[in-house]
Structure 1
Amino acid sequence: MPTLIVEMSAPTVPAKKFLQPIDRLALIIMVVLSLLIGIVLLTGDTTRPRVRNFSWQDKYVSAEDTAFILTFSRPMNHASVKANLKIMPVLPEGEVSPSDVPPIEGKISWAGRKMAYTLLSPIPYGNDYQVQLQGAKEKIPGVEEEGTIMEPFQATFHSRDRAFAYIGVEGEEQGRLILYNLTQQQKTLLTPADLVVLDFQPYPGSDRILFSANDRQNQAKGLLTAQLYTVTTGLSFPSPDQGSPAQQTPGKLDLVLDSENYQNLQFDLSRDGQIIVVQRVNRDDPADFGLWMIPADGEPQPLENQPGGEFLIAPDSASLAVAQGQGVAILPLNADAEPLDFLPKFGQVLSFASDGAAATMVKFNTDYTRSLFLVNNQGTEQELLRTTGSIINCEFAPNEETLYCLLTQLIQGEEYREEPFIAAVNLDAEPDSEESPIQPLVVLPEQRDIQLSLSPDGLALLFDQVATRPASAIDSLRNDEGQAIATGRLWLLPLDESITSEAPVQLQPEPLLPGFLPHWLP
């Protein structure tokens, strides 16, 4: 029987399309990107370099802020950046200062794409500033040709307001702490009427002031019940390092140290604002007399190894200079540490340089004269002047090349008279030079009770003049000698760069406000 063979054909399957729509899209994208990469490789990157970050953008800088940083998106030609960088004050109308106003000078250093601009002198207070950079070019490694010109850059920053505090003398202001914003022409009473302010020191942020004050009734009775307080100023300056502080209303008081068991005398605030040192005496035991330390977040504690005397906290905020018998001791702010140094030649320390590398000290000579010395941390002692009068105060200029001193000269006559004057002392003068390094600036009326304060930018001096009378039971304002302060006047003395030149300079102080004991805010 024949075999029946049946051939069965497989079902026809339609051919799968080679490319789906998503595949075609991916292929198109790859081709386009390949073309773009090829164009970039052939023609180079045409995007321009730019400034990515400016560390002082819209910040308020102080004399403590000495440098800003510009961060670029690419390596830059250093010479072209230096030639095209401009830092200029902005006029009140919003226009950049004219070309005859000198720019803010500084020196430039580099670390990769970061450029640091270090100021040669503190930024003048009370101004807005504009930073401009255009025309600078990038640096192409291994290629001598000039790179792409950067995108034009422009930014602004501000310096702190020119402001100071003082004690009022008239009407409702008498004995009260007052803030005067010279930039804004605004006056603010900070303390209540029932307190008489005796002394004060501003905190480094200018947002608070530390002060000692007595109850007005106790002050009139001569009772020593002064307490330490802090008060807010209402000033808020966003700094480059710390950002924007919390805004506070002016006049908010906080008690720091009471006077229940101890009388509070002299005090000092460390430069970083973290430590207060107070001279105290036990009310029940006058032999219990010495220095106390108050940490920012701690309780008052006695410094057992540091007996009382005139003292000043050093700029490092970790040590202080204390007058001890026949000399000045440099002691640590640590009760368990040993003394750091002892200078037997000197009887008083007046001031420290901002970096702590030098100090001004007074030597009381055996011939009844006084000598002003500059003493550095290397042990070098330089006598700057010798006088038959008094050396009341000296402050270092920010550049530490000049001292501004309040001195007196003895007036010959039947009565003992001292005539005070403000002088500039040139610290760069040659020790053996025939020319005197002392240049008198202003001669003042015959009174010793004068307070001097140098602005943080070194451009102006504040000083006061007070009139006194014998104290009565109703007087609340008194000086250190117990005389009643009848009235007082603040004066502003603008300083000029030529004061240390050979030609004599006659500066004219400007009268400001009724008051006394002025202090510039940092």
Structure 2
Amino acid sequence: MRHRLLKEPLDRVALSVLGILCVVTALLLGGGDHSRPRVQGFTWQERVVGAQDKAFLLTFNRPMDTRTVEQHLRITPGLPGKVSWAGRRLAYTLLEPIPYGREYEVKLTSAQDKYGRGEGIEPFVGRFYTRDQGFVYVGTQGEEAGRLVLHNFTQGTHRVLTPANLLVVDAQPLPQGDRVVFSAQQESDPALGTQIYTVTTGLQYATPTGTPPARDAGQVATVLASEGFQNLKFDLAPAGDKVVVARASLHNSAQSGLWQVDLGGGRRALDLALSGDFRVTPDGQNLVMAQGEGLALLPLQPQAQPLDFLPKFGQLLDFDRPGTRALMVKFNSDFTRSLFLVGGGGEQELLRLRGSILSASFDPRRPWVYVIATEAGEATNYQELPYLAAIALPTKQILPLVQFEEPAPPQMALAPDGRDLLLEVNGHLWRFPLGANPIAQLPEDLGLWGRQPRWLP
């Protein structure tokens, strides 16, 4: 009896709490969730993005009325794109590469949830930025001669990256823009041969795995010393994880050939003889190399057999970004040359001329190709003068842009956002804007002297 009396107060408390919980539950079920809808996550919040970033996600705390979200979503400055939904997530996919050197605001107000209950969405404002617009080049005058130089349009800065004792031969920026791979000779010891290095740019951008640590510009590290070889040429894999280097042995010609060097450490010979120019494919798994009178597709594996051989073509000029199409040159039997679009289910001749096709690049924003070529003059005054033109792929219409007045072959580099070309003409650097109508544009003299301009990715 005494034991039962002690339990009764506890029973009454438990029953009271249970009753209160039942009432609260009933109220919630009857009245629903009255909290305001809101944006829970924005994948580009305070991020620096580049041409490789193609879409951002907005995640909401509840199912939304998609029509009201799309109606009230604002991006400033405007970015052409398309919207798709997966549950509570909105994906905004860009229709063209994002312009560099800008700040953007994403704003959403007045949208409703799927059931139109309660207040509208909690106002959301997000911000993100795009990478600096800048490029590197090898200087040719004054204290810049033979040195790698970084010119940053966004920050308005100009800086020499490499020391005076290294004479730079070639350079290619890594895809994150934080470093540049370059080949150079020691000015004090030319017999040492060309070696491969990296140098920091002072820039850092977030990656899917995090943001790399900040490093001051101009820090040089050796990737591949000469070690009894002459390092003749290199090409950087698009992912930035390795380089393929053509190496000529100074002591045993049988050891000359192509090597793969991993930037994270390690190297190996590929058992591929030095036969011609080469390029790493966009997937980083294969190599296109000139062999005899054609182009061979070779896997980056020791002693591997060729995957394909293209006897019609003698030169590869460019891949498109997906890696499904390429621009190649055919040397015709009538002494003309043709520019071909190869891939995507066939081959298409874009241009045939009696002259030279010096370079060609895909436009990442529209179905155009930019070409620098030369045309032979009259027989009494044989002189090939180069010109820059755009070719509209659907129609093969040729749009002349710039006629150069001197026969020295120019170089061009297309910006990653597709909005500018860099031109090197007789060692003089120019910027050519590619607006909605490039035909109406004029090159801008940058007042810089150098060679081999390369945009930061």
User: CA, structure 1 residues 323+198, in 2 after alignment: closer, same or farther (shift >3 Å)?
Assistant: same
Q: For residue 92 of structure 2, what is the aligned residue in structure 1?
A: 117
- Residue 491 in 1 paired to residue 438 in 2? no
The secondary structure found in structure 2 opposite 1:515 is strand
The aligned amino acid for 1:416 is Y
Q: For residue 510 of structure 1, what is the aligned residue in structure 2?
A: 444
- 1:425-464 paired onto structure 2 within 5 Å: 425-429=391-395, 437-464=397-424
Is the Cα–Cα contact under 8 Å of residues 279 and 308 in structure 1 kept in the other structure?
no
Q: For residue 227 of structure 1, what is the aligned residue in structure 2?
A: 195
**1:314 counterpart (281, 293, 297):** 281
Q: For residue 386 of structure 1, what is the aligned residue in structure 2?
A: 352
Deviation, 1:108, is 1.6
The secondary structure found in structure 2 opposite 1:497 is coil
Tell me the distance in 1 between the aligned counterparts of 2:229 and 2:264. 21
Q: For residue 352 of structure 1, what is the aligned residue in structure 2?
A: 319
Deviation, 1:455, is 0.5
**1:184 counterpart (138, 149, 155):** 155
* Cα-to-partner distance string for 1:285-340 (whole Å, 9 max, x where unaligned): 34544211112334332211454311111100001110100110111111243211
Deviation, 1:60, is 0.7
Tell me the distance in 2 between the aligned counterparts of 1:356 and 1:252. 32
**1:62 counterpart (50, 53, 60):** 50
Q: For residue 104 of structure 1, what is the aligned residue in structure 2?
A: 79
- Residue 406 in 1 paired to residue 372 in 2? yes
* Cα-to-partner distance string for 1:436-465 (whole Å, 9 max, x where unaligned): 521111112313332211110000001112
CA RMSD of aligned residues (A): 2.3
The secondary structure found in structure 2 opposite 1:356 is coil
* Cα-to-partner distance string for 1:60-91 (whole Å, 9 max, x where unaligned): 111001011111111112222221211113xx
- Residue 237 in 1 paired to residue 205 in 2? yes
* Cα-to-partner distance string for 1:233-288 (whole Å, 9 max, x where unaligned): 1101124x132111011111111112231111121000001121111211123454
The aligned amino acid for 1:277 is V
Tell me the distance in 1 between the aligned counterparts of 2:204 and 2:141. 28
Deviation, 1:170, is 2.3
* Cα-to-partner distance string for 1:8-46 (whole Å, 9 max, x where unaligned): xxxxx9x969986x8887776655544443333333221
- Per mean C-alpha deviation after superposition, the further-off stretch among 191-200 and 509-518 is 509-518
Tell me the distance in 2 between the aligned counterparts of 1:147 and 1:438. 59
**2:177 counterpart (206, 211, 235):** 206
Tell me the distance in 2 between the aligned counterparts of 1:51 and 1:65. 21
Deviation, 1:510, is 0.8
Q: For residue 275 of structure 1, what is the aligned residue in structure 2?
A: 242
Unaligned stretches of 5+ residues in structure 1:
1-12, 90-102, 430-435, 467-487, 500-504
Q: For residue 502 of structure 1, what is the aligned residue in structure 2?
A: none
TM-score, normalized by length of structure 2?
A: 0.93
Is the Cα–Cα contact under 8 Å of residues 370 and 389 in structure 2 kept in the other structure?
yes
Tell me the distance in 1 between the aligned counterparts of 2:408 and 2:204. 36
Is the Cα–Cα contact under 8 Å of residues 417 and 446 in structure 1 kept in the other structure?
no
The aligned amino acid for 1:491 is W
Tell me the distance in 2 between the aligned counterparts of 1:62 and 1:306. 37
Deviation, 1:372, is 0.1
- Residue 46 in 1 paired to residue 34 in 2? yes
User: CA, structure 1 residues 299+41, in 2 after alignment: closer, same or farther (shift >3 Å)?
Assistant: closer
The secondary structure found in structure 1 opposite 2:99 is coil
The secondary structure found in structure 2 opposite 1:398 is coil
* Cα-to-partner distance string for 1:397-452 (whole Å, 9 max, x where unaligned): 113611111111222253431111111111122xxxxxx52111111231333221
**1:137 counterpart (84, 88, 112):** 112
- Per mean C-alpha deviation after superposition, the further-off stretch among 131-140 and 326-335 is 131-140
The aligned amino acid for 2:407 is Q
The aligned amino acid for 1:180 is H
Q: For residue 476 of structure 1, what is the aligned residue in structure 2?
A: none
Tell me the distance in 1 between the aligned counterparts of 2:292 and 2:352. 22
Tell me the distance in 2 between the aligned counterparts of 1:238 and 1:301. 31
The secondary structure found in structure 2 opposite 1:411 is coil
The aligned amino acid for 1:507 is Q
Q: For residue 146 of structure 2, what is the aligned residue in structure 1?
A: 175
- 1:413-424 paired onto structure 2 within 5 Å: 413-424=379-390
- 1:84-99 paired onto structure 2 within 5 Å: 84-89=72-77
Please say which structure displays the higher CA radius of gyration: 1
Tell me the distance in 1 between the aligned counterparts of 2:51 and 2:391. 21
Aligned residues, how many?
454
The secondary structure found in structure 2 opposite 1:172 is helix
The secondary structure found in structure 2 opposite 1:395 is strand
Identity %: 45
The aligned amino acid for 2:177 is S
The secondary structure found in structure 1 opposite 2:203 is coil
User: CA, structure 1 residues 366+46, in 2 after alignment: closer, same or farther (shift >3 Å)?
Assistant: same
Q: For residue 100 of structure 1, what is the aligned residue in structure 2?
A: none
Is the Cα–Cα contact under 8 Å of residues 326 and 342 in structure 2 kept in the other structure?
yes
The aligned amino acid for 2:299 is P
Tell me the distance in 1 between the aligned counterparts of 2:117 and 2:146. 67
Tell me the distance in 1 between the aligned counterparts of 2:397 and 2:117. 51
Q: For residue 471 of structure 1, what is the aligned residue in structure 2?
A: none
